């Protein structure tokens, strides 16, 4: 297979996965918009968002690494080699997961107050924040059963993946988002949007039940949707308790480095959440406690705090091209990389990886350049409603600063695919330790210097710094291992890409200064029009310059997209 055919194949496989991701991201965006409109993006929002994030973090910490990295190859192997097509092995794994996740979930729900001590900044111990801390604990209690459902969803999804059914796992999250959207519409009708003066209030027990219970219901629905698909795929579950000598020990040993990798990641993220939760807490409620008679002044001052909600929402926004393009590319190339590693074809592996890196960068770099141009108007369109109608600009600095971080993250993320194909999981772990340590140290130092308003931007800079280091280390090590990664052509490509993206963004920025609405007071319609017009100018000019400068990576992505448009591409 020629290199062009291969890259076409990779782009085509990626496009199928990307479609599911686009739908799931779009429905997730509607959910986030309604959530921001209902509960804002300050302390009030942090209480729910932290409570609702912890189950996902804990699931990843406790089981995610083993489930994701180890089980698929093992399930496929059992299916191929066992006389019963892997049925007994699958039943054992499911039984073990049900018991383990069930017990862990019950323990976590009981230990919710202790858990929240870990994730919430020390200022939540102030008497003025007692009600807010209780709300955060209540949300944790309602949301922690998600650990069980996350685990079962990923496990059953992997059983389907091992049988070659990739669709359901991509599409099931849309059901979760649909339920969350219904719950939030109900919440908005029932309780209304949060008034500006309520940005540091706690929740009533009914509000906690609707938001927390609704979030868990959505995750449970994801699992239930997979059950009929599993039956159709011929999976019949009956519990098996005979774990000894069944090869599960081998499965777990393989997972050790992956699990350690995950632990380092989650420890670093726990520090980030804890630091972020201080941004919104410090600013408001200490002052409310101190100056009851200056209450209006305190809330006014509070309106400038950024914390976990702002950081997480900005991160979600800038990760869209990564989720749609880079993850799809990486998933499509991993089998090819593994095959080349198995054949000892290191040059071929390097060529595939280097080509994919250039393709991913040709999307991510112009996106990072476009962020300063479009972030303000995009925030207005995406978040300027209800409780966030006056605080949508809190997202802007974090969104802009994430741009460079995402570029370096993309390089690192694709290099890891090379290490995994070569089965160098231990190396990946040590690189991740360096990234985690850099992130934690930079975050603590920067947040310590930052004001309440600068908390989220400070954490974003720490994130970027950790991946500047991580991408440099992983690239250098893999290049040494493979005897080259087409670095000279990568450098030439990068220079041309930066010139094209830079000129395109500069021209679009100049147009933006002339267009109406470049002042702070811009309507939703005008902001949307600015995003569309400036985005189109930026992208159009970039693609035009890429054609002239012969940046083939850009033109092949554009051609793939055009072929996918019904009536244009003909296929």
DSSP string of 56-89? HHHHIIIIIHIIIIIIHHHHHHHHHHSTTTTHHH
User: Residue 221 has what pLDDT?
Assistant: 94
Where residue 570 falls among pLDDT bands split at 50, 70, 90? very low
Mean pLDDT confidence for 236-246 = 72
User: Residue 568 has what pLDDT?
Assistant: 47
Return the higher-pLDDT residue of 426 and 441.
441
User: Residue 72 has what pLDDT?
Assistant: 61
Say how many Å lie between the first and final Cα of the chain, rounded.
21
Q: Does pLDDT of 400 surpass 60?
A: yes
Q: Does pLDDT of 251 surpass 70?
A: no
> pTM for the whole thing?
0.86
From the list 124, 139, 123, the residue with the least C-alpha distance to 45 is 139
Take residue 154 and report the two structure tokens written for it.
């990923």
pLDDT digits (tens, 9 = 90+) for 525-536: 999 999 999 999
CB atoms within 10 A of CB 422: 19
Q: Does pLDDT of 231 surpass 80?
A: yes
User: Residue 302 has what pLDDT?
Assistant: 47
From the list 13, 150, 159, 148, the residue with the least C-alpha distance to 72 is 159
Distance in angstroms (rounded) separating the CA atoms of residues 64 and 103: 16
From the list 92, 108, 21, 13, the residue with the least C-alpha distance to 56 is 108
User: Residue 70 has what pLDDT?
Assistant: 60
Three-state DSSP class for residue 549: coil
- Give percent of the chain above pLDDT 70: 87
Where residue 245 falls among pLDDT bands split at 50, 70, 90? low
Summary mean pLDDT of the chain: 85
User: Residue 533 has what pLDDT?
Assistant: 96
Where residue 243 falls among pLDDT bands split at 50, 70, 90? low
Dihedral of CA atoms 129, 132, 134, 135 in degrees, nearest 10, equals 180
Which residue is associated with the tokens 């990295």? 69
Distance in angstroms (rounded) separating the CA atoms of residues 381 and 391: 12
Handedness of CA 131, 137, 141, 142 (dihedral sign): positive
Q: Does pLDDT of 564 surpass 50?
A: yes
Q: Which are the contacts of 331, defined by CB distance < 8 A and separation ≥ 6?
A: 13, 14, 17
From the list 121, 123, 49, 55, the residue with the least C-alpha distance to 271 is 121
Q: Does pLDDT of 499 surpass 90?
A: yes
Mean pLDDT confidence for 89-96 = 83
305 in Cβ contact with 395 (< 8 Å): no
């Amino acid at each position: 297979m020629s290199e062009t055919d291969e890259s076409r194949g990779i782009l085509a496989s990626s496009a199928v996965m990307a479609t599911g991701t686009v739908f799931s991201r779009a429905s997730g965006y509607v959910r986030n918009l309604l959530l921001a409109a209902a509960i804002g993006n300050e302390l009030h929002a942090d209480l729910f968002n932290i409570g609702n994030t912890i189950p996902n973090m804990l699931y990843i910490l406790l089981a995610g690494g083993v489930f994701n990295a180890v089980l698929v190859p093992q399930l496929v192997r059992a299916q191929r080699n066992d006389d019963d097509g892997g049925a007994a092995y699958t039943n054992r794994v499911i039984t073990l997961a049900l018991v383990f996740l069930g017990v862990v979930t019950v323990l976590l729900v009981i230990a919710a107050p202790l858990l929240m001590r870990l994730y919430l900044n020390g200022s939540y111990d102030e008497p003025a924040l007692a009600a807010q801390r209780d709300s955060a604990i209540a949300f944790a209690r309602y949301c922690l059963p998600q650990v069980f459902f996350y685990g079962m969803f990923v496990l059953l999804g992997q059983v389907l993946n091992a049988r070659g059914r990739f669709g359901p796992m991509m599409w099931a999250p849309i059901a979760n988002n649909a339920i969350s959207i219904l719950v939030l519409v109900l919440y908005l009708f029932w309780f209304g949007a949060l008034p500006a003066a309520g940005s540091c209030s706690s929740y009533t027990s009914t509000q906690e039940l609707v938001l927390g219970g609704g979030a868990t219901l959505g995750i449970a629905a994801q699992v239930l949707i997979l059950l009929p698909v599993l039956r159709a795929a011929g999976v019949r579950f009956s519990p098996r308790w005979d774990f000894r000598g069944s090869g599960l020990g081998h499965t777990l040993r393989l997972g050790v480095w992956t699990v350690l990798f995950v632990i380092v990641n989650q420890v670093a993220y726990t520090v980030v959440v804890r630091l972020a939760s201080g941004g919104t807490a410090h600013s408001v409620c200490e002052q409310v406690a101190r100056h009851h008679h200056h209450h209006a002044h305190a809330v006014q001052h509070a309106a400038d705090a950024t914390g976990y909600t702002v950081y997480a929402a900005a991160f979600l926004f800038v990760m869209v091209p990564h989720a749609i393009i880079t993850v799809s590319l990486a998933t499509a190339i991993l089998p090819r990389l593994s095959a080349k590693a198995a054949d000892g074809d290191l040059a071929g592996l390097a060529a595939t990886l280097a080509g994919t890196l250039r393709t991913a960068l040709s999307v991510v770099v112009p996106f990072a350049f476009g962020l300063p141009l479009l972030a303000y108007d995009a925030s207005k369109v995406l978040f300027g409603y209800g409780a966030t109608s006056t605080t949508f600009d809190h997202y802007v600095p974090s969104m802009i600063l994430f741009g460079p971080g995402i570029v370096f993250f993309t390089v690192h993320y694709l290099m890891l695919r090379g290490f995994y194909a070569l089965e160098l999981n231990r190396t990946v772990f040590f690189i991740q330790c360096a990234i985690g340590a850099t992130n934690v140290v930079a975050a603590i130092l920067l947040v310590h210097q930052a004001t309440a308003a600068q908390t989220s931007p400070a954490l974003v800079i720490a994130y970027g710094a950790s991946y500047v280091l991580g991408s440099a280390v992983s690239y250098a090590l893999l290049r040494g291992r493979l005897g080259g990664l087409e670095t000279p052509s990568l450098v030439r490509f990068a220079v041309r890409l930066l010139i094209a993206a830079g000129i395109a963004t500069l021209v679009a920025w100049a147009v933006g200064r002339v267009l109406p609405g470049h002042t702070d007071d811009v309507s939703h319609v005008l902001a949307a029009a600015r995003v569309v017009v400036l985005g189109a100018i930026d992208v159009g000019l970039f693609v035009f310059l890429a054609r002239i400068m012969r940046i083939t990576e850009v033109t092949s992505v554009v051609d793939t997209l055009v072929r996918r448009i019904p009536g244009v591409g003909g296929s």
